[in-house]
Structure 1
Amino acid sequence: MNISRLKQPIIASVLGLSAFSPTLLAAVIEEVIVTVQKREQTLQEVPVAVSAFEGDMMAKMGIGDVRGLVDLTPGFNGKTEDSFIDALAIRGIGTNDFGIGGDPSVAIFQDGIWAGRNGGVQMAFYDLARAEVVKGPQSTLFGRNAIAGGINILSNKPVDEFEGNISLTIAEYGEIEAVGTVNLPLTDSLYFRGSAYWSEADGWLDNTVDGKELGEKELSSTRLALRYAGDEVDAVFRLTYEDREQAPSVYWTPTNGLPEDKVASDLSGEGFDRGEILTVTANITWDLAENYTLVSTTGYKTYDFDYLEDFDGTALYVNNYGQSQEVDYFSQEFRLNYDGGGDITWFAGASIYRETVDATFTNAYNEDHLCIAIIETDEGGGAAGCDDPVFEAYWEDDIDPADILTDKAEVNINELESDGWSVYGDVTWQATADLDITIGGRYTVDNKEMKTQVLDSGGALGNTFSWEFYTDGFVEDDDSWSEFTPRIAANYMVNEDIGLYANYSKGYKTGGYSTFGIANDGTFEFGGQLEAGMPLAFEPEETDSYEVGAKTKLLDGSLHLNVAYFFYTYTDLQLIIFESGSQLVKNLGEAENQGIEMDAHWTPGENWDIRAAFAWQDSEITEEIEEGDGSKGNHLPMAPEVSGSLIATYNQPVSGGNMFYTVQYVYQDEMFGGTGNFDLAKVDAWDQVDLRLGYESDDEWSLTLWATNIFEEEYFERGWENADEDDTAGFGLLNSLVWPAKPRTIGLTLDMSF
């Protein structure tokens, strides 16, 4: 596992001390309550693979947003530093579509509301009760295209007692973070809770083009909540506002001849990743007649997202990619739950949503620089600019030097309107004292209307990067898709400490439109106006998923060990390909995956707490993505064969409080950036060790000294395939790796409750 000689003693000492301490008294683990099946159950009761993280734990471990869950969740991969989620994948299912015409494969919900798409999902974690990562298709339970799985994030509710908390963190690279929460009971049944979050950091990654450091960020967020807790009604109203400005993704290519901790970007500090997000939610529960509960979940989310990055990853001005969008989203759901304490428990519900997205996409470049890059990738080099005879021969046209633009933008404008509805239900039958059988299903209807306009960029080359034409105003199309997605599960309790389960579920993600694609008959002059066309539609993708597992409480309740085996087939994958001058999303290929996942929580003594996660998966593309491309037999992207983590904490009681010592270890096997499995876009295997040393006072304050990546491991988050395996035929773009790992960072956190 690429563990250096320095790392081995640390890991061995933690495991050795925990495994060989017979004099220590084992501590019983407190049950974790989850709500993934629309009712409160213990984690050990749910017949599906779930990784649950309590709010206090996430705060202590420095998990700042959904990306922080990736390393600690078996089978969850593809974290990213920017505001996109096009790299996130659960069990190898994700989407590389960074446009607006499709939907994410990993469905993220906060307080019951779909959290949205790129630019609106990566909201800060603070004052949370819990985060639940549910793996495998969750169309029945979560809906809204949860084909890979669902992430359920739950904020703390206002309570009937006064509470307050403040936290302050300072760290290297100018990092400062402050969080404050106050809870106020206003009357016997009305409570208020308010939280505020703020953080900033300087850059830390050297850009060799101008000497600037990249990676800076500034983020502020506020959440206000009001709760009415009556005899029959419990209602929580929340308003959350977040303002984020940070660095965009940066790309590293070996052609720059730089070490892995430096990049070359012509854009440098001029890039940005900005978001302004407002979310309003209402969660209302009515206790109706005996045994019946009605739940209403209402959400409204609106946000602006602006983004600009140097996508080509070189010092030349070849492709600075920009995206600007405005999003409005509304949803309403009603659910009726029945639990009479007998053999039958069920729920049934209905939901609607409406979403509008207005977006502008830009590929900006210097035409001479692009011509140099095109000849480098497609012809082996030799051009000095667009009017060079080498390029003119390639282009099969003479170039007038007067037409060459040094700052040019190819722009397309998209307007998307989506709406849909679904009805769903789930019933659990206690067949015997030890056997529960659950049957559920959801019927979903989605409607989309897409409008696309491609502007004429002019210059010597015309529209070349994502388009071979421009349009006279908008072209448009609309379509509808519907599907029924069933689920069946069985849960058998061997005894009070061992449960076995099996389930089948159908995964579904609705169809949509290529943000950068227009269907046409090809009867247009290259670079000219398209006379007729419409946005290019793609159909839904589907999976059939099977899972068996065991959830156990062993060693007198001091060890919770959960193991799952899964297998699925995956058809009509929605993938971006480069074709006819456009980055098109099409239904391509088939794949399958199988794997084993393990979660363990062990308290071998009253002073020890050990958590471990492990995943092995064996994915395979079973039908070529494109005919003759050699992808058959390859692994799915963002699906490393092996990944795992270990968090071990030793608590030492001292006068007036407790000292704690924590080591965190994360390992990830090699991970491919695309279906071609190209080495130049592959992340090599890596591991990282973090340490925490802290004091918790009996007077409700704590101080923690922490260090991340203490051995300065060099690795990348992910890779992207833009060219072929040899970095050729990429139309000026190279295969690249994204965001080098942040070097060792040392910080101090003070936390006070009152």
Structure 2
Amino acid sequence: MKHIIQFSSFVSLLALAGTASAQGNNAATTIAADQPSQSETQDIIVTAQKRSERLQDAPLSINAASGAQLQSAGITNTDQLQKLVPGFTAEKTAFGNPVFFIRGIGFNDTTLGVSPAVSIYIDQQPLTYSPMARGAILDLERVEVLKGPQGTIFGQNSTGGAINYIAAKPTREVKAGFDLTYGRFNEVDAEAFLSAPIGETLSIRAAARKEYRDGWQTNYANGSTNGNTDFVNGRLSLKWEPMAAVSLLLTASGWRDRSDAQQPQLVQYTPLLTGPGANPVPFPIDTFPTAPRNPRAGSWGPNNDFRLDNWLYQFSGDLEADINDNLHLASLTSYARYHQRVPIDIDATIYPAAYSIGPGDIETFSQELRFNGKIGDAVAWMIGGNYKHDRVKETVIVDPLTTSGAALFGFPFSSFAIDNDQNVKSWGVFGSLDYHINEQFTLQGSARYTKEDRDYAGCSRDSGDGTLAASVSFLTGLLGNPQTVAPGGCVVLDNMANVQPIVRNQLNQDNVSFRTSLNWKPNRDTLVYANITKGYKSGSFPSLSGALLVQQFEPIGQESVLAYELGTKLALERKIQLSGAVFYYDYRDKQLLGTFVGAFGPLPALVSIPKTHVKGAELSLAFAPFSGLSLTLNGTHILTRVDRDPVNPTGPYGNPTSFVGHSFPLTPKWQGTADAQYRFPVSGALEAFVGTTITARTGTVSSLLSEDPAVAPLERLLEVPGYVLIDLRAGISSPDEQWRLEIWGRNVTNKYYSTGTSRIADFTTRFTGMPATFGATLKYRM
């Protein structure tokens, strides 16, 4: 209870700083001037095309949710957006970092310095790499999820989509508020904000969040616990408006996560190698019992430290100026630093078999300058450019390592490390043009040229204990070119069996992405659009476990997609909003998680698939049939297919195969969400509500599988079953939502489900979703 008292004091002090009269809850979406009643749907204003427009008028597939909706759904992290966004999927890699998918398009690689297929922004400022998004959900106005290839307007190319968080801005009136939550596992979350003017032209907004929770994972071998949450997040914004036509927004934000890293469950022990060359694995590692089907169950070594050391800080500036009535200037500048340490017990047993620490650092700078304007009433245009510079340093350390593959020709080693340093510079120029043919038809076009230069330096190396160095020294003798590798040294060999001190390489590529759209708007509440989009995702240098040859450090080139989409958006008497789309993606060089067979056996590796395609459809319905009742239904159907094999296609258990006709990993065919809420008056000063959210998806697989019946039982271990999750909520509030008290339950049926399955070394493991949780949230606004 002491945590409740401490956090209550924290939020109360910040809320009491506001001295203005009580304000109603500013719903995080922007509502049109003709405020709808409770029996009407609302007009949501979005900035997906870098201009303000109604969601109903944007010729893109977009899901938008207000900050209030995110809070009510218990969404505090990007990976939880699948509760509200159909077609969005979040998974965990084998080393604990998040990966995001939209319409089945994602990028499941464990390397820190690879560009994602789903890019993330805060107020159009990039969070270039997925782990940097941990603290994005704080004091938000709304979130916009853009589906399909992005890159013509947003600066970071992506083939899956983009997520743009819009933070609440400083106000000219004093506003303050807090949210305080207490839940299962002694969870205490507190968030508070204060916004106020501090002069005639300057205003400020401060927001902070603290998350605490006791461990929720239980070691089924010895009863110890894991999973504590210790997370703090903050943002400070200053808005200067020296004149009506000019504004400057300066923002400093940062977060730190010292929580316990979630640990995987053991699914099965299967040795990578057998026979004379295999490293003997001591009993009883190979007979350790697999995890029960309980979301809380896990197992880990008793002497390992699983506390994260992840943090980020970011400084950004947004200058907006109206040069005249028809010309607007925008300048976006951002600098961010990110650090991580993610410890994972790879073997998921209580024995010291395989323990990984993934320290890494990111430094990124970006600058965008753009102009947009109008020519009469028929033409709207935009032109601009951007520059981005990233430095990513990552080291994967596995120590100890006791697996069947930890030997070279029978010469064992006990640990290894991989260094992956990348220096990435990119720049681009872009433009867009909207031409209103008449009152009903609009033709849109946009394009961007992007040039990216990526320098790499790294290697596989001895971790410092000398065992891998001795193994490779022994190997060079067998190859007729004996050399001595020092402890901690690189162990990569060239074609002549010479040990390389470090591997250096470059990947310099460019591309032209574009989008063209024809829009028909017969009336205010109907839109039909047809889009053709060309998109790209950057190539990279993956961190490949077990790479001993210099050829294995070659980069994976960029992927490209040509996407076709036909969609419609309808509003009927302000009671029903319906949107739907059908789409087809034609891919080249798709980057998917496959398998590489090296000196230490079959290991996960990034592969480039020459030709693939995606086709699908989605439908969203918002319905307010009568006063107080609101219903939303969303569904997505996706079919993916590999059309042409990569070089040397290999199944996850090392067998040659063909992937033609197979689906993409981590791509459910069906996904859907449903939400219902009924709100009714209790008295003149009190209202009550009840609601539910249901999330469902069909099963998928976590890797490209083979067709070999000999390993089919093993490959079924890499399946990710479908699931249905049910959340419930009920509460009371003032009619103007100045205060709100809600009790809630999430995953109330305690459904057991997986958020990622992997095979690393001898161990097939999975991450599980959260068990049933329940609690209460108090919300207050001044």
With structure 2 as the length reference, what TM-score do the two structures score? 0.83
Are 1:657 and 2:686 an aligned pair? yes
1:339 aligned onto 2:374 = yes
- What secondary structure does 1:706 align onto? strand
Q: Residue type of the partner of 1:568?
A: Y
Structure 1 Cα separation of the partners of residues 747 and 471 of structure 2: 47
2:627 counterpart of 1:606: yes
How far 1:327 moved relative to its partner?
1.3
Q: Distance in 2 between matches of 1:429 and 1:320?
A: 58
Report the alpha carbon displacement of residue 149 of structure 1 after superposing the two structures with TM: 0.5
Once the 2 structures are TM-superposed, how far is the Cα of residue 537 of structure 1 from its aligned partner?
1.6
Indicate how the Cα distance of structure 1 residues 517 and 508 shifts in structure 2: closer, same or farther if over 3 A, else same.
farther
Letter of the structure 2 residue corresponding to residue 359 of structure 1: E
Of 219, 222, 232, 1:207 maps to: 219
SS at match of 2:135: coil
Aligned: 1:648 with 2:676: yes
2:735 is the counterpart of 1:705: no
Are the structure 2 counterparts of residues 607 and 753 from structure 1 closer, same or farther at C-alpha, using a change threshold of 3 Å? same
Per mean C-alpha deviation after superposition, the further-off stretch among 488-497 and 653-662 is 488-497
Partner residue of 1:593? 614
2:47 aligned residue: 35
Q: Deviations over 1:574-613 (max 9, x none)?
A: 2343233476434234321111111221111111111221
Separation in 1, partners of 2:401, 2:94: 25
Match of 2:581 in 1: 564
C-alpha contact (below 8 Å) 1:67/1:80 kept by paired residues: no
Contact kept, 8 Å, 1:312 with 1:733, in 2: the verdict is yes
Q: SS at 1:246's partner residue?
A: coil
Q: 1:240-260 deviations in whole A, cap 9, x for unaligned?
A: 010112232422233333322
Deviation at 1:124, TM superposition (A): 4.5
Figure out how many residues of one structure are paired with residues of the other and give that number. 679
Out of 184, 189, 193, the residue aligned to residue 172 of structure 1 is 184
Distance apart, 1:750 and its partner CA = 0.9
Cross-structure match for 1:497: 525
Give 2:169's aligned residue. Answer: 157
Q: Give, in whole Å, the separation in 2 of the partners of 1:53 and 1:667.
A: 19
Query: Does 2:757 align with 1:719?
Result: yes
Paired with 2:657 and 2:108, the residues of 1 have a C-alpha distance of: 18
Deviation, structure 1 residue 519: 8.8
Cα distance, 1:211 vs. partner? 1.3
Contact 1:676–1:721 (Cα < 8 Å) also in 2: no
Contact 1:83 1:273 in 2 (8 A): no
CA RMSD of aligned residues (A): 2.5
Relative distance call for 1:82 and 1:42 in structure 2 (3 A) is: farther
* 1:259 paired residue number: 292
1:268 positional shift: 7.8
> For structure 1, which segment, 113-122 or 248-257, has the greater mean C-alpha deviation from structure 2 after superposition?
248-257
Q: Does 1:321 align with 2:356?
A: yes
Give deviations 1:222-263, integer Å, cap 9, x for gaps. Answer: 100000122110111100010112232422233333322122
Which aligned pairs between 1:196-235 and structure 2 lie closer than 5 A? Answer: 196-229=208-241, 230-235=243-248
Amino acid at match of 1:439: G
Residue 83 of structure 2 aligns to a residue whose secondary structure is: coil
Q: What is the alpha-carbon distance in structure 2 between the residues aligned to residue 220 and residue 341 of structure 1? A: 49
Q: CA–CA distance in 2 between the matches of 1:257 and 1:476?
A: 42
Letter in 2 for 1:129: E
Residue number in structure 1 paired with 2:775: 747
CA distance in 2, matches of 1:68, 1:733: 27
In the aligned structure 2, how far is the partner of 1:450 from the partner of 1:645? 42
- Aligned partner of residue 600 in structure 1, secondary structure: strand
- The answer to whether the 8 A contact 1:98-1:118 is kept is no
Q: Distance in 1 between matches of 2:379 and 2:167?
A: 30
1:599-641 CA distances to partner (integer Å, 9 max, x unpaired)? Answer: 2211111111112211111111112244452322111112101
Are the aligned partners of 1:191 and 1:227 in contact in 2 as well (CA < 8 Å)? yes
Contact 2:93–2:99 (Cα < 8 Å) also in 1: no
How far, CA to CA, are the matches of 2:538 and 2:663 in structure 1? 24
Q: Are positions 1:692 and 2:729 aligned together?
A: yes
CA distance in 2, matches of 1:501, 1:294: 29
Structure 1 residue 456, shift from structure 2 partner? 2.6
Kept in 2, the 8 Å contact 1:674–1:721? The answer is no
Match of 1:109 among 121, 136, 149: 121
Q: Which residue of structure 2 lines up, in the alignment, with residue 295 of structure 1?
A: 330
Measure, in 1, the Cα distance between the counterparts of 2:551 and 2:694.
53
The residue that corresponds to 1:459 in the other structure is 467
Match of 1:245 in 2: 258
- 1:416 is aligned to 2:454: no
Q: After superposition, what is the alpha-carbon deviation per residue over 1:544-574, rounded to whole angstroms, capped at 9, x for unaligned?
A: 11100110002x1111110011110122122
Question: Aligned partners of 2:753, 2:732: CA distance in 1, in Å?
Answer: 32
CA distance in 2 between counterparts of 1:67 and 1:664 reads: 16
Task: Call closer, same or farther: CA 1:517–1:423 in 2, change over 3 Å.
Answer: farther
Write out per-residue CA displacement over residues 335-365 of structure 1, whole angstroms, 9 at most, x where no aligned residue.
1111356111111110001111122111222
- Summarize the alignment of residues 604-683 of structure 1 with structure 2, pairs less than 5 Å apart: 604-625=625-646, 626-627=648-649, 628-655=656-683, 656-676=685-705, 678-683=715-720
Q: What does 1:342-381 correspond to in 2, within 5 Å?
A: 342-367=377-402, 370-371=403-404
* The one of 179, 194, 197 aligned to 1:185: 197
Q: In 2, are the aligned partners of 1:72 and 1:644 still within 8 Å (CA)?
A: no
Whether 2:66 is the aligned partner of 1:63: answer: no
Amino acid at match of 1:237: L
Deviates more, 1:35-44 or 1:136-145: 136-145
Q: 1:538 to 1:518 in 2, by over 3 A?
A: farther
Q: CA deviation at 1:214?
A: 2.3
Per the TM alignment, residue 665 of structure 1 is displaced from its structure 2 partner at its CA by 0.8
**Deviation, structure 1 residue 698:** 4.6
Give how far 1:657 is off: 2.0
1:685–1:534 CA distance, 2 compared to 1 (3 A): closer
Deviations 1:696-731 (A, max 9, x none): 125821111111111111111222255xxxxxxxx5
Instruction: Kindly state the Cα deviation for residue 413 of structure 1 after the two structures are TM-superposed.
Output: 2.1
Change in 2 beyond 3 A, CA 1:85/1:480? same
In the alignment, residue 316 of structure 2 is paired with which amino acid?
A: T
- The question of whether the paired residues in 1 share the 8 Å contact of 2:80 and 2:90 is answered with no
| Change in CA separation of 1:462 and 1:203 when aligned onto 2, cut-off 3 Å | farther
User: 1:163: how far off?
Assistant: 0.1
**2:535 equivalent to 1:545:** no
CA distance in 1, matches of 2:720, 2:560: 28
Per-residue CA deviation, residues 6-32 of structure 1 (Å, 9 max, x unaligned), is: xxxxxxxxxxxxxxxxxxx98222200
Please give the alpha-carbon distance, in whole angstroms, between the structure 2 residues aligned to 1:267 and 1:94. Answer: 35
Alpha-carbon contact 2:170-2:238 (below 8 Å) kept: yes
The change in CA–CA distance for 1:84 and 1:352 in structure 2 (over 3 A counts) is: farther
Asked if structure 1 preserves the Cα contact closer than 8 Å seen for 2:94 and 2:110, the reply is: no
1:286-326: CA deviation from partner (whole Å, max 9, x where unpaired): 00022110001110101211111012333443322221112
Task: Name the CA distance, whole Å, in 1 between partners of 2:363 and 2:139.
Answer: 25
Distance of 2:379 and 2:606 partners within structure 1: 44
Q: CA 1:650–1:320 in structure 2 vs 1: closer, same or farther (change >3 Å)?
A: same
Matched with 2:104 is 92
State the alpha-carbon separation in 2 of the partners of residues 185 and 349 from structure 1. Answer: 32
Partners in 1 of 2:571 and 2:759 — Cα distance?
Answer: 44
Where does residue 16 of structure 2 map in the other structure? none
Q: What is the distance in 1 between the residues matched to 2:720 and 2:116? A: 23
Structure 2 CA distance, aligned partners of 1:144 and 1:608?
A: 40
Change (3 A) 1:423 1:744: same
- Partner SS for 1:640: coil
